[in-house]
Structure 1
Amino acid sequence: MALHRLYVLFFIELGSRRVHLAGCTANPTSAWVTQQARQIAWTLQEQPARFGFLIRDRDAKFTRSFDAVFASEGIQVVKTPVRAPKANAVAERFVGTARRECLDWLLIVNRRHLEHVLRVYVDHYNAHRPHRSLGLTPPAAIGSKPPLCSSSRELKRLDRLGGLIHEYSHAA
């Protein structure tokens, strides 16, 4: 069994910290990145919130056709300065968080396995994981009322990814 490097393309909303997983591949080409951009743009059309900007780095895979996908949706593409990872700190923070909380603890065997693990983790990240910058609420809970606590103090635990991630809720 040989080791292979896999690449992940994701988008993150700055205000809500909601992550959108675009895909994983062993060979990220400009055509693949552009196709993933089309799929994300199509998905984002169904959301009530509109986006004004896309911040991206200067990787050569992000071609004019990639930028054109978002420009056609009225989204302005902003490139980060050269060699300035802090200019896209929210995305860099998500990468570090995903590695520390999930990927560093698992042996990923192939692309399908990585996609499965990341989909489960992104679902947890968006719907259950508290974010300090959001007042310890998950991105999915922004704008909604806090859940009413039942009189029971019993908690229900759901283990995800074989117990690597735990999600808690009040028992009914």
Structure 2
Amino acid sequence: MRSIRVLVLRLAKENPSWGYRRIHGELLVLGIKVAASTVWQILSDAHIAPAPQRASNTWAQFLRSQAEVLLACDFFETVTLTGTRMYVLVVIEHAQRRIRILGATAHPTAAWVTQAARNLIMDLEDASYHARFLIRDRDGKFPHLFDDILADADTHVVLTGVQIPRMNSIVERWIQTCRHELLDRTLIWNQRHLLHALREYEHFYNIHRPHQGITNARPLQPLPEPITNPAQISQLDIRRRPRLGGVLNEYQHAA
């Protein structure tokens, strides 16, 4: 019967850890008497794998299910014109793609990284955002106190596998974007100049730049209502607002 088939597939979809016997039992509780073999056949015909395989919680499933309360952080490096190697620490929200530049330094000491963690917690509290998880790699620049501070804020640190950067792909992708759109096009003089450029890019990224990963929305600003008036479209007056000397461009309607 079609209604039973639909219900079996619904139970399988809504409860990935249930096997055909568990689904069969739930049907009996609902007063629906069918053979367990019938449930197995329905799942098989729909190309749904056995429960042990469906129950395996993959990393991708974890990222999707926890996206709203998930942060990721990482260090990346850049070099100034004077040859000084600078280390930048960034954090990104998985769901909204909001980026936070925690700082840049030539000497990422344990004290500096620990203070960055404290600043992050205060910033999250000001934004009324609670993160349950933060993903980071096993970089030795992260001291134990970094994890302890996050744990005190009820944020569990999740370590990526050894040399598996794709486990932190969201922040890795952002770093590539930052290099392509900013750092590869800018001559950085010193730490002060680097921080200024990064703050400008942080504002641009969070407020103006559309993101394909969130259906071309912006982390801190929703998309406007689409223009439907043909007359208004035919008389568009779009102005450019350059940032960082034209390295970044924002466009908006003339007032």
TM-score by length of 2: 0.64
SS of residue matched to 1:168: strand
- Residue 137 of structure 1 aligns to a residue whose secondary structure is coil
Give the corresponding residue for 1:134: 214
Following TM superposition, by how much is the alpha carbon of 1:72 offset from its aligned partner in structure 2, in angstroms? 0.8
Amino acid at match of 2:144: R
Aligned to 1:164: 247
Matches within 5 A, 1:74-153: 74-141=154-221, 144=222, 146-147=224-225, 149=227, 151=232, 153=236
Instruction: Specify the alignment match of 2:127 in structure 1.
Output: 47
Whole-Å separation in 1 of the counterparts to 2:141 and 2:114: 9
Unaligned regions of 5+ residues in structure 1, if any? none
Structure (1 or 2) with the greater helix fraction = 2
- CA positional deviation for 1:169: 1.2
Aligned residues: 170
Amino acid at match of 2:238: L
Q: Deviation per CA, 1:83-111, whole angstroms, max 9, x where unpaired?
A: 01000001100110000011001110100
Please tell me whether residue 65 in structure 1 is matched to residue 145 in structure 2: yes
Which protein is bigger by CA-based radius of gyration? Answer: 2
Distance 2:245 2:141 in 1: 35
Sort the Cα spacing of 1:158 and 1:2 in 2 relative to 1 into closer, same or farther, 3 A. closer
Distance 1:157 1:145 in 2: 18
Percent of pairs with identical residues: 44
Q: How far has the Cα of 1:47 moved from its partner?
A: 1.3
Compare relative contact order (CA 8 Å, sep 6+) and give the higher one, 1 or 2: 1
What residue identity is the alignment partner of 1:67? Answer: D
Q: CA deviation at 1:49?
A: 2.7
* Alpha-carbon shift at residue 145 of structure 1 (Å): 6.0
What is the alpha-carbon distance in structure 1 between the residues aligned to residue 252 and residue 149 of structure 2? Answer: 40
Distance in 1 between residues matched to 2:85 and 2:123, nearest whole Å: 27
